[in-house]
């Protein structure tokens, strides 16, 4: 496809947060847009989440990393915004559309430890850092003898805490390290049967104005159907639970081979409390009913007591 306006290559102003990871993600999208015949230009935007050193939940949680980018879109200061999909509120934004969900990076979490010790090898009382209530709750369920401490900051900041010995290990996303070329730091990849990632983790959302049909058409060429179906199911769990992106909720869907004998999506979800209580369930269903699959699984979680767990975490 050669996306052009008249005889000129289509210019596209691509909005991104200023962090190294956000810029790396936006550069990847811009490279794909360039290959489609457009002329992308990165525009850096500072969000509320970038200005504050407070925990995300203390800043209001959902939306702190995306609102400024969305404002720039609506103000027509940028044409496209690139988000980490896990940061995107589940409710639709008036006037905007997620026109592309590109192929997903590995969604799993990883351990980075000072002495190259895997999670099961860390000694009792070891200090392990995370800024995520989801990770905190699942870590405490797996290793209640560890000291889980709150940390905040970009990837380099978190890894630096380990390097300086301020903490013994940290949990971060594989996808972020991969996009920054830092996979050499990984001690252990945590399989999803042990720790479920955040809904949408590892995926990107490429958003634009809903009425900008030319940009919507261009971005449609970046969309990956299997990834979109998976994250749609995961986010439907979060939406139905009425939980935000900082809630102790994990969800992960994977497309299978699509054969007639098996459904297209397998979805796992967990609600975990800081006390170590965990409710985890799974479901399978066709990818063309991904949203309903997520809603149904969330309804089962609620019936099993997830609402009480989530209420306890909000107190």
Share of residues in the chain with pLDDT > 70 (%): 88
Same domain for 207 and 186? no
Same-domain check for residues 12 and 99: yes
Whether 98 and 13 share a structural domain: yes
Which tens digit of pLDDT belongs to each residue from 279-294?
Answer: 999 999 999 999 999 9
Average pLDDT over residues 119-136: 96
- Assess whether 182 and 238 both reside in one domain: no
Given a cut of 90, is residue 298 above it in pLDDT? yes
Ordered alpha helix ranges (H), the chain:
20-35, 48-51, 67-74, 133-142, 155-163, 174-179, 213-220, 225-241, 290-303, 306-314
Q: Quick: pLDDT tens for 222-269.
A: 999 999 999 999 999 999 998 877 789 999 999 886 555 556 899 999
Q: Structural domain tally of the chain?
A: 3
Specify whether 15 is located in the same domain as 161. no
Domain that holds residue 134: 109-190
pLDDT for position 273: 84
Give the model's pLDDT for residue 260.
Answer: 52
Q: Are residues 57 and 12 in the same domain?
A: yes
For residue 167, give the CATH number of its domain. Answer: 3.40.190.10
Q: What is the per-residue pLDDT for 65?
A: 78
Provide the CATH number for the domain around residue 289: 3.30.160.40
Q: Which has more confidence, 42 or 52?
A: 42
138-150 pLDDT per residue, tens: 999 999 999 999 9
| Res. 63 pLDDT band, cuts 50 70 90 | low
Average confidence score pLDDT of the chain: 90
Radius of gyration of the chain (CA): 20
- Which band of pLDDT confidence, cut at 50, 70 and 90, is reported for residue 47? low
pLDDT in tens, 11-24: 999 999 999 999 99
- Residues annotated as catalytic are 87
Residues 137 and 210 in one domain: no
> In terms of DSSP bridges, do strands 8-9 and 4-5 run parallel, antiparallel, or are they unpaired?
antiparallel
Nearest-angstrom CA–CA distance, 253 and 115 = 33
Q: pLDDT digits over 184-209, tens only?
A: 999 999 999 999 999 999 999 999 99
**In the chain, pLDDT over 90 holds for what percent of residues?**
79
Give the pLDDT confidence score for residue 274 in this predicted structure: 75
What's the predicted TM-score (pTM) here? Answer: 0.89
Predicted local confidence at residue 263, as pLDDT: 64
97 with 210, same domain? Answer: yes
Buried b (16+ CB within 10 A) or exposed e, 228-244: bbbbbbbbbbbbbbebb
Give the span between the Cα atoms of 14 and 4, in whole angstroms: 17
Co-location of 209 and 90 in the same domain? yes
Distance of alpha carbon 140 from alpha carbon 254, whole angstroms: 26
Residue 196 lies in a domain: no
Looking at the domain assignment, is residue 195 inside a domain? no
């Amino acid at each position: 496809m050669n996306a052009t306006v008249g005889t000129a290559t289509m210019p596209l102003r691509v909005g991104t947060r200023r962090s190294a990871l956000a810029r790396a993600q936006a550069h990847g999208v811009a490279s794909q847009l360039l290959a489609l015949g457009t002329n992308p230009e990165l525009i850096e935007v500072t969000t509320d989440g970038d200005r504050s050193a407070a925990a995300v939940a203390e800043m209001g949680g959902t939306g702190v990393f995306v609102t400024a980018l969305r404002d720039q879109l609506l103000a027509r200061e940028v044409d496209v915004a690139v988000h980490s999909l896990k940061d995107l509120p589940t409710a639709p934004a008036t006037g905007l559309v997620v026109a592309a969900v590109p192929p997903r990076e590995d969604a799993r979490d990883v351990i980075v430890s000072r002495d190259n010790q895997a999670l099961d090898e860390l000694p009792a009382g070891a200090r392990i850092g995370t800024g995520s209530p989801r990770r905190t709750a699942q870590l405490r369920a797996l290793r209640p003898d560890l000291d889980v401490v709150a940390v905040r900051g970009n990837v380099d900041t978190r890894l630096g805490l380990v390097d300086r010995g301020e903490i013994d290990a940290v949990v971060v996303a594989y996808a972020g390290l991969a996009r920054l070329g830092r996979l050499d730091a990984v001690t252990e990849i945590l399989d999803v049967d042990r720790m479920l990632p955040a809904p949408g983790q590892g995926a990107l959302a490429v958003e634009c104005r809903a009425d900008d049909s030319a940009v919507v058409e261009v971005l449609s060429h970046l969309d990956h159907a299997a990834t979109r179906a998976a994250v749609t199911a995961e986010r439907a769990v979060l939406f139905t639970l009425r939980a935000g992106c900082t809630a102790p909720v994990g969800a992960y869907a994977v497309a299978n081979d699509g054969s007639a004998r098996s459904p297209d999506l397998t979805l796992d979800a967990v609600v975990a409390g800081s006390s170590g209580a965990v409710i985890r369930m799974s479901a399978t269903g066709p990818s063309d009913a991904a949203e309903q699959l997520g809603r149904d699984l969330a309804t089962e979680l609620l019936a099993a007591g997830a609402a009480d767990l989530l209420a306890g975490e909000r107190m």
